[in-house]
Structure 1
């Protein structure tokens, strides 16, 4: 009996090791989606019209400017008109076409006006990208309820408005792709990001359910894609409401380029759900296999980074209720900041010896 027990245990460990090896291989196979398009792909994109909600900075701005380099037609939408006008100039300078629409995704009338403007200028929409999003960081019970409600207005209700409006347009056209920006937190929620994680999990479920409805009604030329990046160095951290007492933190943060490329890649490939990059894919798969272990590890890392090591920071509503002058680029500069913080801690430890 003891021999059988150890044989079973050994087999289980071997299976786990095999799964882990497979996951590592999968994690390494992320180049096709995260690299720039081939010339053939660029030619396909150049014939399309894109709507991007949340295009004044971060990933939305990155996608818009890259689409300009591919000579696409781009309708850019956000709250910050001046920044979008700068993005539009870059798009046209690169050979694309651009239209600016000032709007707030949490207002359904603004979303409908955006669709009307896109059709007015270009006659159609091929790809609709819901990218606008905000964060709230802190202990769930210490975050004001109205701030979490506002986050849901933008991150979830706004995506519902955008998806609903785009879907009606695509049903009339007979084709179209909706790309909703989820997160690795759609699969692996993180401590101190409770409302944000909830919104991203809901976005993932929204896409799965709508794709089932489209299948049942034989709408094969319409799809909803949920793109799920790992934590990315964008102005999201500068825009987030923060009640944690510490400056927003994250480990092993990705650059925005691979996510920008993955979003554009998704416009050409029938992938309903796309974890981005090696770390995103590995986290996604490992959570499905070992949920408790991954959740404990994620929580412990978040607690150490955000609550113990983060430099002090005052409470802020961020950009929840009104736009901010902070964070106007594609990158948020977090990687450089974290590098400097690590150097400062090493220097302090040296002095303390």
Structure 2
């Protein structure tokens, strides 16, 4: 879906109060979009709205728990009443529990699934309800390298991301079958420097961390905004995501054993966890959380995979030009050899 000059897009972002969702909302704000901000914490959403408007867009705060389909539908209705037809819907909201599976409760597993997976399903439902009659619109599912290659200590979250991918692939086939103009894409992210590691429920002895290498949330935001305006089936962000997807296809058993040995330590810092600290599984955690977490010094600012996707035509032309030059040089060499043989 290409932007029309002068047209302000209406965008919905779930999980917009912090982390990747906040970065995405601000990135759309810089394009001049009208952005509906969905999350549970009104105070943080108000601060995001101010950031979106300072960037050049318009913001709308809609306090929403995406695990409740009624609240998601109400948010969609409020968005269209305020901003007009929804052009782009970004399903980003998530939560997790850092814990061995055997130590989790059924209620915890259900809650992670309801937010991470069913929240995406409910958002997609509300978006399609409005987009399909108009035969246009884009839905962006924010995925993860863990949507293909699971890791230990996050069984509920990994299961939710796998489910999103399966659901998305199935729905995409249905949209193609009906020749729908609605486009569905999934952006697979690497480990991100977001505040979730400070508020996600954890039973680990040490503080949780993203598995290195780590990327800044603005990298994900640029990829998501780009994916929303280009008809790509799926976009992989970051070298670790590429390695994860390809490695799991080639050596799944080897990765099982590697993660069994290294996966626990890789997700923890050397700093002891604070027992019974507040977590956001059931209630939002108050505080001035922004897009970034506490891993700035270790986080990368760019992704070559996203850059290559953005510049694929230039790269193709450069490759074609290089191939033509090499072919011309080869022909010149052959001609020189023929002349040399005739002279002899």
TM-score, structure 2 normalization: 0.81
Among residues 31, 39, 44, which one is paired with 1:78 in the alignment?
A: 39
Of the three residues 184, 192, 195, the one matched with 1:232 is: 192
Q: Tell me: CA distance 1:85–1:282, structure 2 relative to 1, closer, same or farther (3 Å).
A: same
Deviates more, 1:93-102 or 1:120-129: 93-102
**1:326 Cα deviation after fit:** 4.4
Aligned mates of 2:297, 2:157 — CA distance in 1: 25
CA, structure 1 residues 65+45, in 2 after alignment: closer, same or farther (shift >3 Å)? farther
List gaps (5 residues or longer) in structure 2. 300-344
What residue is the counterpart of 2:208 in the other structure? Answer: 248
Match of 1:210 among 154, 171, 174: 171
1:87 match = 48
Give the 3-state SS of the residue equivalent to 2:207 in structure 1.
Answer: coil
Q: TM-score, normalised by structure 1?
A: 0.79
Within-5 A mapping of 1:137-286:
137-219=98-180, 221-249=181-209, 250-286=211-247
CA distance in 2: counterparts of 1:254 and 1:271, whole angstroms? 22
Question: How far apart in 1 are the matches of 2:62 and 2:216?
Answer: 27
Larger radius of gyration between Structure 1 and Structure 2: 2
CA contact (8 A) 2:3 2:229 kept: no
User: Contact conserved, 1:186 with 1:204, CA < 8 A, in 2?
Assistant: yes
Q: Deviations over 1:104-141 (max 9, x none)?
A: 10111111111111111122001001111001111110
Question: CA RMSD of the aligned region, Å?
Answer: 2.1
Q: Which runs of 5+ in 1 are unaligned?
A: 1-40, 339-353
Q: Which digits, 9 at most, give the CA deviation of each residue in 1:199-256, with x for residues without a partner? A: 000001111000001111111x212212110110001212211112221023221111
**Cα distance in structure 2, aligned partners of 1:312 and 1:112:** 38
1:55-70 equivalences under 5 Å are 55-70=16-31
Which of 79, 84, 89 in structure 2 is aligned with 1:128?
89
2:331 maps to which residue? Answer: none
More helix as a share of residues: 1
Contact 2:207 2:269 (C-alpha < 8 Å) held by counterparts:
no
Equivalent position of 1:112 in the other structure: 73
The aligned counterpart of 1:290 is 251
Greater share of residues in strand = 2
1:19-40 alpha-carbon deviations (Å, 9 max, x no partner): xxxxxxxxxxxxxxxxxxxxxx
Q: Which secondary structure does the structure 2 equivalent of 1:320 belong to?
A: coil
